[in-house]
Chains A and B, each alone.
Chain A
Amino acid sequence: MNRKMRGRGMASSWYGIARTATIDRAGAWAELDDGGTAKIVTGVTEIGEGILTVLAQVAAEELGVRPEDVTIGDNDTSRSPEAAHAGATRQTYMIGNSVALASRDARAKLFAEIADHWDVPVDSLRAFNGELWAQDTNLRMSMDEAVKTCKGRGVVPVGSASFTAHGTGLDPVDGSGSPWQAYVFGTQIAEVEVDTWTGEVQVLGIWAAHDVGRAINPRGVEGQIEGGVVQGLGQALMEDYQTEKGYTTTHGFAKYILPTSLDIPQINCVIVEDPDPLSPLQAKGIGEPALVPTAPAIMNAIYDAIGVRIKSLPATPEKILDALRNHVPGREQIAQSARQDRAEAHRRGL
C-alpha cells in the first residue's frame, strides 16, 4: 500500500422543512412606507443564514421596491407578530411565505387606490424596482409618488398575513402520519486522501447537489451548503466533546478540535430547484439538510481508499491507524468473493 491513498464515496439524504409532526405557523406585517420604502415586522431574526436578505428580496419583489429599501424590524415578542423560532430549516419557508403574503396584502391596498386614481383595472398594475405602471398604457410613477398618492386618498398601505404549514402528529403505535408538507433531497460525493502512516484524512473535494425548492438567493444557498458540509466534515473527522464519568474533559477549543481554513475541501455546489407546489414562494430550505450526507460520504470514501470502514465517529487518525493495524489484508476481498460465490450459486439455482 502506498503511504497516501485516495478514494471516493457518496451518500444521499432527505429532510423535512419546518416544524416536525405539527402545525407550523408564522406571522408578518408589511407597510409600504414614505419615499417608496417598506417596513416588514416579524418575530424572528438573522442567526447567520441570511434570512434578513431573503426577506428583503421577497418583500421587494412583492411590493415593487428594491431590497435596500426594505427595513426589517423588531424581533421582539412585545413589538412584532409571532414567527416562532429560528431553526428547523423553517425561516425561508415559514417567514418567507408570511412576508410574501403580508406584502401582497399591503400591495393590494396600494394598487386599489392607484387603479382608481388612474381609472384602470387593478390587474393591469405592475410594480418592480421602485416603479409602478399600468400595462399597455403610458401611466407610470415612482413608488414614492404611489405611496404619497395612496396616503393622500386617506389610505395607509399596510398588510398582514399568517402562513401555515400543515404537518400532522405521528400515531403513537405505528408512527404513521404526515410530519411535513415539503421535503428536500440531497446527494454528496467526497474525495479523500488518507495518510496510512499518520492516519490523517484530508477531504480534497465535495460535490453537493441539493434540492432547495426555488432558490431565493443562490449565493446564500451555496453559503449554507458550504457551511453545512464543513460542520459535517468536522463531525466526521475531528470534533468530539468528551466527558469522563460526567466530568467534562473538553474544556476549550484547545481540546475541542474544529475545522479551520486548512481542512476545507473544494466544495462544488449544485442547486437543484424542485418548486414547492404548496406555498406562494415555491422555495423550500437548506439550512440543516446540507450537513446530513457529508459524514457518511466521507466514511464511504475512506473505505474506498483503504478498505477500512469506520462505523464510530469521528474517524480520528488514532482510529484509522488502529483499524489499519487490525486489518487483515484481503479480508474484505475474501468476504466479498464468498458473497459473490453465494450470489452466483443462488442465480444458478434459479
Chain B
Amino acid sequence: MPKIDLTMDVNGRKVVKQSEPHKRLLDFLREDLNLTGTKEGCGAGECGTCSVFVDGKLVKSCLMPAAKADGAKIETIEGLARPGSLTPVQQAFHKTGASQCGYCIPGMVMAATSALRENPDAGIEEIKERLGGNICRCTGYTKIFEAVEIARDVIAGRLPETALDEDATGESFIGANVRRLDAPSKVSGRLKYAADMKMVDMLQMQVLRAPMPHARIVSIDTSEAEAMEGVACVITSADVPGTDGFGVFVHDQPVMARGKVRHFGEAVAAVAAEDLITARRALAKIKVEYEELPGVYAPEDALVDGAPVIHDYAQDNVIKHIPIRKGDIAKGFAEADLILEDEFRTQQVEHAYLEPEAGIAYVDHDDVVTVLSPSQNITHHRHMLAEILALPINKVRFIMSPVGGGFGGKEDMIYQGMLALAAMKTHRPVQLNFTREESLVASAKRHPSRVRYKMGLKWSGEITAIEFDMLSDGGAYGMSSEGVMRKAAILSCGPYEVHNLKVDTKVVYTNNTPSGAFRTFGGMQAQFATESMMDMAAEALDMDPFELRRINMMRIGSRTHTQQELTTASLDRVLDAAEEASRWEAGAPKVRGPRRNDLGGPDTRKPCTLGARIGEPTDTQTKDERVAS
C-alpha cells in the first residue's frame, strides 16, 4: 500500500511522518504518535471521546482522515499542560470528582476547554450545550458541570486559585472528600486502558461473527485465510484444548460457536495477523457454511410446546426459575378491600460504557497464559479459562486493566478465551479491540422483562397479598441470568413487609442478543413494577404515596420476602429525608400536577430549548453567588 507523507504541528512540535492513507486522524495520533489520551469510543462521531483541536477548533478525530489534517496545528489532551502540571479545567475536574472511569474524560476536558476558549463567560446552559457532543456514562454529568463552572470562574479571576484545592480534612480520612487519586492520570489522558497498550511483536485480532441468529454450522474452511501473507493464525472452536464453556452461573457458552450459532454477532472464528487491516481482510477469506434454523425471538414463544430448542441441555428453554412463597396469598387476597392487577414491561438496555471491550494475551517466560483486559471478574475468569485451556490454574493469569466503564457488562468472558488461544498458537502477544458495533451485538444487555402483578390492599393501606410473576428474555446464553432472576425475586415486592406473597421469576433462552449482569441485576425491573403499583394503589386509596409506603415499609424486626428478620432498616429516615429535601406537597397521586405548589423550585433546572442560549447574554454570576441567591 503506498504511503502518504504527513506534516503537522502536534502539541507545539513539528511532526513529519509517513503513514497509511486509510488512517483517520485518530489512528494517526494513537498508532503513529502514541498519543493514546485521545480515545476511540464509537468511531462514528457520536460520543466525543476522540475530541482534539484542529487549528483551534474542536474536532472529532474519528471523523477526519489523517490526510485532511496535513499541515494543520493539532492539540491533544497531552498538549494542554506541561508534564506534571494540570490546567485549571483539569484541576477542577480533579477537585469535584468529575472523572469516574475516566474514558470519556480526555474528550470531555477538550470540550470543556473549547467551551471556555470560545466563551470565557459562558453560563451553565451554554456550557451544557457545548458539552452536548460528549457522552459520559458514569458521572451523570453533574460533577462535570460543577468543574467547568469552577474552572471558568478561576480563569476569569472571579474565584481565587485556591478554589481548585482539595477540601480540607478534619480529624479523620473517613467521611472526608479526599480527591480521587486516579484523577490526574485520567484528566491528562495518561492512564493506559487495554486498547492503549502496545507490546513488542504484537499481533492484532479480528473476529468473524455470525450473520444470522440461529444456524447449524455445516463447515468452516480457514485454509485460504491461513495462507494469507501476514496472517499468524486462524482459530475456531476446534482449537480449544479443554472443556469449552463459560458463563457466570452455567457454562453454556463456547469460546467460539461450536456446531451452531445462537445469536446474531456471535463469534465463529478469529484471525491474528501482523496488522488490523490484514486481519480484517483475512476474515473475508474464511468460508463458513450455515444451515439456518428456526429461531425463538420472544420469551413467551420459548415456552410454547414444540418451540425450537436452543441448548440441548435445556429442552424447555428455561435457564432458571426462582420461586418465593410466604404466607397464604388466597387468604391475603380474601382479606383485601381492593385488588389491583396490571402488567409492566422493560426493554433491553445496553451498558454503553465508553470503553469498548479490549484486551491483550501473551504466554510468559514461565508458560503462564496471561490475559490483560478490563474484566470485572478476574478471579472467576481465571477458573473458567484454566478449564477451557486444560491448564493448571496457576498457569493462567488474569490482569485487570483500568476499566473504562463496566456496569456489569464486563463480567462475561466473551473474548478473553479467543485471545488466549491465539497467543498459545503463535506464542506472540495478541490484541483485540472491539468496535462499538461489535460491542453492541456481542455483549450482554439488561434483561427485558414482563411482570404480571396482583396486589391486594385494605382501605387502611396495608398490603395483604402480592402475586408477582416475571418472565425475562435471557437471549442466547445463560451468562448472569440465574443470579439476575434470584435478585429480582428477592427484591421483587419492594421494601415493604408483605405477609402473603407468591413470587416467580423465570428467564428463558431465545436467539436474541444475550442478557446478563447490569447495574441492579434485576432489581430495577422488579421494583419498577412494584413502585408503579404502589402509586396506582395510593391513587385508588386516595392516599399520599409517602403515607402508603410508610404504612407498609420494612422496619427493624420485619421479615423480608425471603423471611429474613431485619436487624437494621432505614427506610423511615430515607422517606423523611426525601420528603423534606424535595419540599413534597402531600396529597394522593391523582394527576395533581396542574395544581401543585411545590414545582419549579430553586433546586430544579430550567427546561431546555435547544440552541436558545448560545450567544445570549448569560448570567456570569459565580457558582457561589448563584447558590447564595
Contact = CB atoms under 8 A, between A and B. Distances in A.
Given A77-B378, A240-B349, A261-B134, 10 more contacts: A49-B100, A84-B379, A179-B486, A248-B441, A251-B441, A261-B132, A264-B140, A267-B142, A304-B589, A311-B342
A347 B459 contact: yes
Nearest to B98: A223
B213 interface: yes
Interface in B105-149: 128-129, 131-135, 137-145
B182 interface: yes
Nearest to B376: A86
Interface string A206-220: 011111001111111
Contacts of B264: 243, 246-248
B402 interface: yes
Interface stretch (A113-121, A132-140, A145-153, A181-189): A181-189
Interface stretch (A28-36, A104-112, A293-301): A293-301
B575 A218 contact: no
Closest 7 CB pairs of A and B: A246-B213, A7-B593, A48-B101, A175-B324, A226-B140, A296-B531, A205-B604
A166 B566 CA distance: 14
A189 B620 CA distance: 30
B303 interface: no
Contact of B590 (A232, A262, A336): A336
21 contacts: A6-B593, A7-B592, A13-B523, A47-B101, A56-B181, A86-B403, A175-B503, A178-B564, A187-B575, A193-B607, A204-B607, A209-B578, A222-B142, A246-B263, A248-B441, A253-B135, A262-B608, A264-B140, A266-B605, A304-B592, A305-B591
B489 A87 contact: no
B197 interface: no
Contacts of B494: 12-14
Interface string B328-341: 00000000011000
Interface string A233-262: 011000111110111101111101011111
A309 B350 contact: no
A87 B376 contact: yes
B347 A191 contact: no
Contacts of A185: 495, 554, 569-571, 574
A48 B406 contact: yes
The A interface is mostly helix, strand or loop, or mixed, namely mixed
A63 to B, nearest CB: 10
Contact of A311 (B343, B594, B610): B343
A11 interface: yes
Interface in B376-428: 376-380, 382, 394, 396-400, 402-408, 410-411
A77 B594 contact: no
Interface in B538-592: 539-542, 545-546, 549, 553-554, 561-564, 566-571, 573-575, 577-579, 581-582, 584, 589-592
Nearest to B127: A261
Interface stretch (B29-37, B170-178, B250-258): B170-178
B571 A228 contact: no
A177 B562 contact: yes
Contacts of A222: 97, 142-143
A123 interface: no
A184 to B, nearest CB: 7
Given A179-B490, A219-B97, A304-B592, A78 B394 contact: yes
Interface in B204-218: 212-214
A248 B97 contact: no
B569 A77 contact: no
B18 interface: no
B2 interface: no
Interface residues of A, number: 156
Contacts of B568: 182-183, 274, 276-277
Interface in A50-75: 50, 52-53, 56-58, 60-61, 66-68, 70, 74-75
Contacts of B513: 241, 243, 248
Contact of B352 (A48, A253, A347): A253
B578 A241 contact: no
B152 interface: no
A121 to B, nearest CB: 23
B349 A241 contact: yes
A122 to B, nearest CB: 21
A318 interface: no
Contacts of B100: 48-50, 223, 227
Contact of B178 (A67, A214, A276): A67
Contact of B604 (A219, A223, A266): A266
Contacts of A309: 532, 536
A43 B378 contact: yes
A49 B600 CA distance: 31
Contact of A186 (B324, B574, B610): B574
A248 B212 CA distance: 10
A173 B503 CA distance: 11
A25 B579 CA distance: 37
B578 A56 contact: no
B213 A247 contact: yes
B178 A57 contact: yes
Nearest to A205: B604
Nearest to B483: A20
A216 B573 contact: no
Given A49-B100, A223-B139, A309-B532, A61 B573 contact: no
Interface in B460-511: 483, 486-487, 489-491, 494-495, 503, 510-511
